[in-house]
Amino acid sequence: MTETNSGPVDVTVLLFAAHRELVGGARDTIVSLPERATVDTLLARLRARGGGWSQLPRRAAVAVNRRYAGGDTVLAEGDEVALIPPVAGG
């Protein structure tokens, strides 16, 4: 995905399982971020919304466009950012 080099970027945030229930049940939400915002910036913004959002873990596993990604990953317009609670498959 090519980054736009000016203005804010919109990313889609996905929440699952216990995280989803914490904020009231919506799986997808669109968030506008400043240019060159990182995953950590996004997490801080979400927590700052208050209510259930403030209970999201300070450091969570995150996937950007369906791959696990670090907190310093820079986000681009249209990225799909998923907060991944501790997994329990099998």
Partner 1 sequence: MSWSDVTKDPIDPGAVLARVGRPGDGAVAFFAGVVRDENEGRPVSGMEYEGYDEMARDELAGIVAEAAGRAGTQRIAAVHRLGRLAVGEVSVAIAVSAPHRAEAFAAARYIIEEIKKRLPVWKREHYLDREAEWLEGSLPVERGNRGA
CA distances from 48 to 5, 43, 73 (A): 26, 9, 20
Compare residues 14 and 31 and give the one whose CB is closer to partner 1.
14
CB of 62 to partner 1, least distance (A): 8
Chosen residue from 8, 16, 28, 44 binding partner 1 by CB under 8 A: 16
Reading phi first (left if > 0) and then psi (alpha if -120 to 50, else beta), residue 42 is in: alpha
88 is an interface residue for partner 1 by CB under 8 A: yes
CB contact at 8 A, 37 and 70: no
* 36 phi, psi to nearest 5 deg: 65, 25
Encoded tokens for 89: 């498959």
Total site size for partner 1, rule CB under 8 A: 23
Residues 43-72 that bind partner 1 (CB under 8 A): 60-61, 63-70
- Residues in touch with partner 1 (CB under 8 A): 14, 16-18, 60-61, 63-70, 73, 82, 84-90
